[in-house]
Amino acid sequence: MSKLGVMGRVAGWSCVAIGAVQLVAGTRAEPGMNTDATVDSHVRFMGSAFVAYGLGWVEAAASPTPNLPRMRVLSGLMALGGASRLVTRATVGRPHRFHDLLLGVELAAPVVVEVLGRLDRPAR
């Protein structure tokens, strides 16, 4: 299995697991979250979307030759989420420090996909 395929599967199943936890636990899934009904409803809804997003990663990585264009789109979406976290920092303030880790992963995703995609490319 290619390095890109492994990365895509790890990313995908991680997203599925995180989304499932959010779906089941709601605001209790993450430190620092408010526990009102509106936020809980939003977290559970987004959990289901994150499960679907994760399945997109798994599908893109499933074949012996992973779908690099699709993985680029998925990693770009992840980076867009990271950029959105930066907007929160600029407009509302710094969230719980756990989100620093998430921000790093999200902004690094496109770089990791590109590097692994180039490493997996057959020699010409």
pLDDT higher than 70, residue 124 = no
Cβ distance 116 to 88 under 8 Å? no
Let me know: does 88 contact 102? Beta carbons within 8 Å: no
Range(s) of the domain holding residue 72: 3-120
| Count of domains observed in the chain | 1
Instruction: With cut-offs at 50, 70 and 90, classify the pLDDT of residue 88.
Output: very high
For the question of whether the overall pTM of this predicted structure is more than 0.95, the answer is no
- For residue 111, the 8-state DSSP code is H
Could you report the per-residue pLDDT of 41-75, keeping only the tens digit for each? 999 999 999 999 999 999 999 999 999 999 999 99
Q: What pLDDT sits at residue 121? A: 80
